[in-house]
Amino acid sequence: MITLTNISKKISGRTLFDEVTMSFNDGNRYGLTGPNGCGKSTLLKIIMGIEEPTSGSVSLPDKVGFLKQNIEAFQQNSVLDTVIMGNTRLWDALKEKEALEHHEMTDAIGMRLGEIECIIAEENGYAAEAEAEELLSGMGIPQDSYHLRMQSIPQDHQFRALLCQALFGQPKALLLDEPTNHLDMESIHWLEEFLHAYKGVLIVVSHDRHFLNAVATHIADIDYETIITYPGNYDEMLFTKTSVRSRAEEENKTKEKKIAQLQEFVSRFGAGTRASQVQSRVREIEKLQPSELKKSNIQRPYIRFIPQEKQAGQVVFRLERVSKSYPNNPVIVNFSCDILRGDKIAIIGNNGRGKTTLLKLLAGVIEPDSGNIVRGHNVEMGYFPQNHSDLLEKTPGTTLFDWLKSRRERIMDQEIRGILGKMLFSGDDAFKELQALSGGESARLLLGGLMLTNPNVLILDEPNNHLDIEAVSALAWGLEEFKGTILFASHDRDLVGNVANKIIAFEADHNIVFFQGPLSEYLKKKH
């Protein structure tokens, strides 16, 4: 069990949560939700003692798994050792044993080695490598990487190793901040199964709605300067929360209407002979005062892409035996297909197989080694790169307003202000420098730029990364409503399932399948 007692946190005069007392109970899996900036990651750091609360205290079990993000701290360690470090007591015992075995044996050292052997046995240390390898396998890390240094494996695999570190050693509590960020669909499914079998208390932050719905038994929602716990998954919480708020607003409207009627009576007869009736109405007005509803911090951007009047031709892209390789790594081999006007194509597959490469080829960012990519008639393309800095030239002094103004000639200032407002940038946010943007803010800015330029073809590489759940929902709605052509890569199964009508799947052994149907049909056929 994890217990918070009178926890408050204020940052720069803004209250994230105030005097929160609650428990996260064993056997429950809590999705921690709220928009970007509401304090989800801050709360996890407070629970772990990494960050101090403004006031209050936290009670924790003795063994807690926490997903770290600092891969640079583990660069010189082997992948296997990095995972085993998740059990601090075991790791310290193993390192001390190794050090003592290099000393001349004495009675004291012999006694200490006996104590260490007891610790290793208690922590199931002799099965540690097997447990670590099972976790790494589930995360899709190849066996030949286990004994390599962390710096020698791809960065997304390094993050996966840190996730295995958090899961290792049967912790009594698990705190996971965006665990699906560097996972493909297969690894996400494996993680869901692992967490279903987990017996301790889980607190997880995720922007992946499908993952939260699959994993959570409860939702702890940060809103109204507190944390409210709802039974059920994310969708169930949203329904309950919206219903409660709607009822409270309706009750207030009813009270206000009744108060207006009573005040009219008091105004008419306040100076007359019906003093007792007037006083009765005054007392009733006092009882009927509407309850004060705190403002919710839920915000959803308005995302809608309206293509230019000129339609693209029937064939938007024609790929003719296209190949692209990197040193010792052919990722696309003799791939041919036609992408037609109105196609909404999700590009899926394990990381490293070529999804980003294909999108960069289509966007004209890189050239194929061989073969041709023919762009169709009247194609006006908008590109959203996975690495936001590829488009956001973060030169000192460049503001959001400046960057949007550069996206289109002869644009009116009020149009820019309108886009900024739709993307939740208000007031002086327009003059925020690009260098100061968070991942979520830069993603919203890029989407705002696409809304300004009105392309009829959208090429999007992991556009949901860094967005909160409300923004991802708004993005899905915008893509569903879009009348042009879309090619996008994403591991978000709700986004892919709701938007895509065709699938390009990067499968094993450089096999690329162009499936003429939605994700559900592709998965059914594959299995």
Give the end-to-end CA distance of the chain in Å, rounded to a whole number. Answer: 39
* Euclidean distance between CA atoms 334 and 341, whole angstroms: 23
Pairing status of strand 315-326 against strand 370-375: antiparallel
- pTM of structure: 0.76
The answer as to whether 294 is a domain residue is: no
Residue 70: per-residue pLDDT: 86
**What does the pLDDT profile of the chain (527 residues) look like in tens digits?**
899 999 999 887 788 888 899 999 999 999 998 877 788 889 999 999 999 999 999 999 989 999 988 888 999 999 999 999 999 999 999 888 888 888 888 888 888 888 988 998 988 888 999 999 999 999 889 999 999 999 998 888 999 999 999 999 889 999 999 898 878 888 888 999 999 999 999 999 988 889 999 999 999 988 878 888 999 988 888 888 776 655 656 666 666 677 676 677 667 666 665 666 767 766 766 666 655 545 556 678 899 998 877 888 899 999 999 999 988 888 899 999 999 999 999 999 887 788 999 999 999 999 999 999 999 999 999 999 998 888 887 777 889 999 999 888 888 889 999 999 999 898 888 888 888 888 888 999 999 999 999 999 999 999 988 888 888 889 999 999 999 999 999 988 889 999 999 999 998 788 899 999 999 999 888 76
Long-range contacts of 497-503 (CB under 8 A, 24+ apart): 497/210, 499/344, 499/346, 500/344, 500/345, 500/346, 501/343, 501/344, 501/345, 502/343, 502/344, 502/345, 502/346, 503/345, 503/346, 503/347, 503/348
Q: Are residues 393 and 282 in the same domain?
A: no
Instruction: Using CA atoms of 244, 250, 251, 257 in order, give the dihedral in degrees to the nearest 10.
Output: 170
In total, how many domains does the chain have? 3
For residue 230, report the phi and psi dihedrals to the nearest 5 degrees: -120, 140
Residue 303: inside a domain: no
Would 293 be classed as within a structural domain? no
Q: What is the pLDDT of residue 398?
A: 86
Find, among 213, 187, 214, 218, the residue nearest to 201 by Cα: 218
**Do 382 and 450 share a structural domain?**
yes
DSSP 1: -
The residue type at 478? G
DSSP SS3 for 134: helix
pLDDT value of residue 250: 63
Same domain, 246 and 226: no
What is the C-alpha separation between 189 and 211, in angstroms, rounded? 9
Query: Is residue 282 domain-shared with residue 336, that is, in the same domain?
Result: no
Same domain, 247 and 329: no
304 lies in some domain: no
Asked if residue 348 belongs to a domain, the reply is: yes
* CA dist., res. 157 & res. 172, Å (int): 25
Question: In the prediction, which pLDDT does 294 show?
Answer: 59
Do 138 and 242 share a domain, yes or no?
Answer: no
DSSP 428: G
Residue 76 shares a structural domain with residue 148: yes
The answer on 275 and 151 residing in a single domain is no
Q: What is the DSSP letter of 418?
A: H
Q: Is residue 297 part of a domain?
A: no
SS3 assignment, position 240: helix
Assess whether 320 and 411 both reside in one domain. yes
Q: What is the pLDDT of residue 361?
A: 95
Asked if residue 325 and residue 210 are part of one domain, the reply reads no
**Alpha-carbon Rg for the chain in angstroms:** 28
Which one-letter DSSP state was computed for residue 406?
A: T
Q: Bridge-partner residues for 108, per DSSP?
A: none
Give the neighbor-by-neighbor strand order of the sheet with 485-489: 381-384, 457-461, 485-489, 344-349, 502-506, 512-515
- Residues 6+ positions from 246 with CB-CB distance below 8 Å: none
183 strand-pairing partners: none
Range of the domain at 520: 315-526
Distance CA 274, CA 276 (A): 6
**Using CA atoms, how far apart are residues 376 and 382, in angstroms rounded to an integer?**
15
Contact 315, 307 (CB under 8 A): no
CA distances to 108, 125, 459, 465, 474 from 118, in Å = 16, 10, 57, 45, 55
Three-state SS annotation for 293-310? CCCCCCCCCCCCCCCCCC
- For 303, phi then psi, to 5°, come to -115, 115
User: What's the CATH number where 370 sits?
Assistant: 3.40.50.300
296 within a domain of the structure (yes/no) = no
Residues 99 and 245 in one domain: no
213, two tokens:
């719905």
Query: Both 80 and 196 in a single domain?
Result: yes
Residue 333 inside a domain? The answer is yes
Kind plus residue range of the DSSP H or E element containing 117: helix 107-122
Say if residues 478 and 399 touch (Cβ distance below 8 Å): no
